[in-house]
């Protein structure tokens, strides 16, 4: 007779065979003036799920919509320059990787949330990119389990801070890792709303309105981040079980400003942080436990 264990081993073997077949099929497509594709969009349309698109040095004038699982990686930091309308790269498929690209010139519509990279899927890796001349930087929209690492985001300095978008912006996006990113000249360095269970580690946030601004987002962890030269360091509101460890809040000085504000928060842990040269160090209102 066939046991349950034998059935499980057969299914596991079948899965491994299918996985190997998919891996064997994956191709590397190249983009550049002397390559098989002249634009990244052409390569995206031709590619099959699982393929890698390798982009050579240059400037590519296009907006991209990614609707299949792909890896897009730059060689020598090529630039994807948007048309000035909408998001430069919009990712709708899960498990994509965007690596080593310059990304610039998004649209300017706050209501439409024009961004350098707009994530509308989960399981993606966004790393080692440089974003400039963008309204929002990297926007996670109902997007979970992503890794956002070592990106540099420069907002639009010609706009007043309230007219810019967030550098790292999360809405309804749980369980993400945001690590070793640099954000400057955005509205808020990290804006988090209705997004729980995220880890923010080793980020540097400066020269903007709020370094950290979030509400209604429980169980978030902030470790080894630096917030300096902002109008305000951190505003943490209507949330619980927030942990802040070994962060630095330095020289955040605006009108009625503060290093850290807690508004109606519960069961938070704040330890080993450096809070230095702010208009107000720590301000707490309706904070409990």
What is the tens place of the pLDDT at every residue in 74-118? 999 999 999 999 999 999 999 999 999 999 999 999 999 999 999
Rg of the Cα atoms in the chain = 21
**CA gap 253, 39 in Å, rounded:** 45
- What are 131-157's pLDDT values in tens digits? 999 999 999 999 999 999 999 999 999
Q: Which long-range contacts (CB under 8 A, 24 or more apart) does 23-28 make?
A: 23/50, 25/50, 26/50, 26/51, 26/52, 27/51, 27/52, 28/52, 28/53, 28/54
If you average pLDDT over residues 37-53, what whole number do you get?
Answer: 98
HSE, CB side, 13 Å, CA atoms: give it for residue 264. Answer: 6
Q: Which residues contact 68 (CB under 8 A, 6 or more apart)?
A: 44, 47, 48, 49, 93
Report the candidate in 274, 269, 187 with the shortest Cα–Cα distance to residue 220: 269
The answer to whether the beta carbons of residues 92 and 66 sit under 8 Å apart is yes
pLDDT in the model for residue 253: 86
The percentage of residues in the chain with a pLDDT greater than 70, rounded to a whole number, is: 91
Question: Tens of pLDDT along 182-235?
Answer: 999 999 999 999 999 999 999 999 999 999 999 999 999 999 999 999 999 999
- H helix or E strand, kind and range, residue 12: helix 4-25
pLDDT at residue 1 greater than cutoff 70: no
Name the pLDDT band for 45 (thresholds 50, 70, 90): very high
Mean pLDDT lowest among 4-13, 165-174, 236-245, 258-267: 4-13
Gap between the Cα atoms of 71 and 91, Å rounded: 11
pTM: 0.90
The CA distance from 44 to 124, in Å, is 16
Copy the structure tokens of residue 120: 């509308």
pLDDT band for 19, please (50, 70, 90 cuts). Answer: low
Beta carbons of 120 and 98 less than 8 angstroms apart: no
- The two structure tokens encoding residue 196: 């729980």
| Cα distances (angstroms) measured from residue 164 to each of 107, 114, 143, 156 | 11, 10, 22, 7
∠ CA(102), CA(151), CA(273), 5° rounding?
155
Rounded CA-CA distance 187/165 in Å is 5
**Complete DSSP assignment for 134-185:** -SEEEEEES--S-EEES-EEE--TTS-GGGS--SEEEES--S-EEES-EEES
Per-residue tokens: 160 = 């007043």
Q: Is the pLDDT score of 10 beyond 70? A: no
8-12, 62-66, 249-253: range with lowest mean pLDDT: 8-12
d(CA 212, CA 168) in angstroms, rounded, equals: 10
CB 98 within 8 A of CB 126: yes
Report whether 72 contacts 47 (CB < 8 A).
no
Q: Which one has a higher pLDDT value, 12 or 215?
A: 215
């Amino acid at each position: 007779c066939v046991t349950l264990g034998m059935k499980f081993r057969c299914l596991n073997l079948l899965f491994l065979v299918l996985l190997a077949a998919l891996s064997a099929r994956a191709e590397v497509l190249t983009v550049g003036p002397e390559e098989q594709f002249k634009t990244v969009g052409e390569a995206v349309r031709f590619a099959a799920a699982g393929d890698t698109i390798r982009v050579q040095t240059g400037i590519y004038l296009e907006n991209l919509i990614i609707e299949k699982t792909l890896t897009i990686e730059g060689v020598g930091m090529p630039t994807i320059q948007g048309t000035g309308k909408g998001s430069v790269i919009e990712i709708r498929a899960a498990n994509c990787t965007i690596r080593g690209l310059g990304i610039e010139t998004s649209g300017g519509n706050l209501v439409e949330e024009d961004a350098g990279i707009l994530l509308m899927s989960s399981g993606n890796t966004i790393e080692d990119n440089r974003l400039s001349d963008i309204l929002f930087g990297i926007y996670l929209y109902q997007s979970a389990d992503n890794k956002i690492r070592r990106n540099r985001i420069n907002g639009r300095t010609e706009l007043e801070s309230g007219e810019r978008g967030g550098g790292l912006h999360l809405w309804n996006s749980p369980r993400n890792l945001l690590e070793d990113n640099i954000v400057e000249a955005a509205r808020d360095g990290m804006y988090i709303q209705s997004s729980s269970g995220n880890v923010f580690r080793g980020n540097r946030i400066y020269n903007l309105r709020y370094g950290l601004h979030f509400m209604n987002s429980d169980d978030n962890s902030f470790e080894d981040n630096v917030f300096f030269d902002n109008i305000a360091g951190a505003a943490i509101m209507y949330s619980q079980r927030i942990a802040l460890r070994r962060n630095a809040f330095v020289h955040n000085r605006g009108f009625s400003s503060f290093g850290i504000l807690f508004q109606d928060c519960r069961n938070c842990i704040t330890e080993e942080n450096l809070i230095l040269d702010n208009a107000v160090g720590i301000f707490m209102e309706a904070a409990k436990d």
